[in-house]
Amino acid sequence: MKPLALNALLAAIVCIASLAAYDWIIARPYRTVGVVDSVAVFRLEEERLASQMARDMSAEQRDRLASQARAFAREFPRALEQVAIDCGCLVVERSAVIGTPPHMVDLTPELKRRMQL
């Protein structure tokens, strides 16, 4: 009877350790949800560009601002993807989230930093 109890105890310990490792390594990281407020990021860039505009701008200055806007639009998806990779989590738009899930992380400051805002 003693070897049977020892085997059962050992099996239970291995099972519990395996479940804990699965939760810690695989399941838990995927429960994290990152949110970004992309509207706020675009609004900041819009305000930055608008502050540089003037009625008496030359065509060259207007072209430079348009080029900066295009560069921002090109860089934004790359920065957003890199934020998601660094987080290792699902990233969604802030306006798509109702409430505040317990494993939610606001990644907007990181996105702003990457976009140099």
- What's this model's pTM, rounded to 2 decimal places? 0.69
Q: What pLDDT band is residue 29 in, cutting at 50, 70 and 90?
A: low
Per-residue pLDDT tens over the stretch 60-84: 888 898 899 999 999 999 999 999 9
Tell me how far apart the alpha carbons of residues 57 and 89 are, in angstroms, rounded to a whole number.
44
Q: Which long-range contacts (CB under 8 A, 24 or more apart) does 12-16 make?
A: none
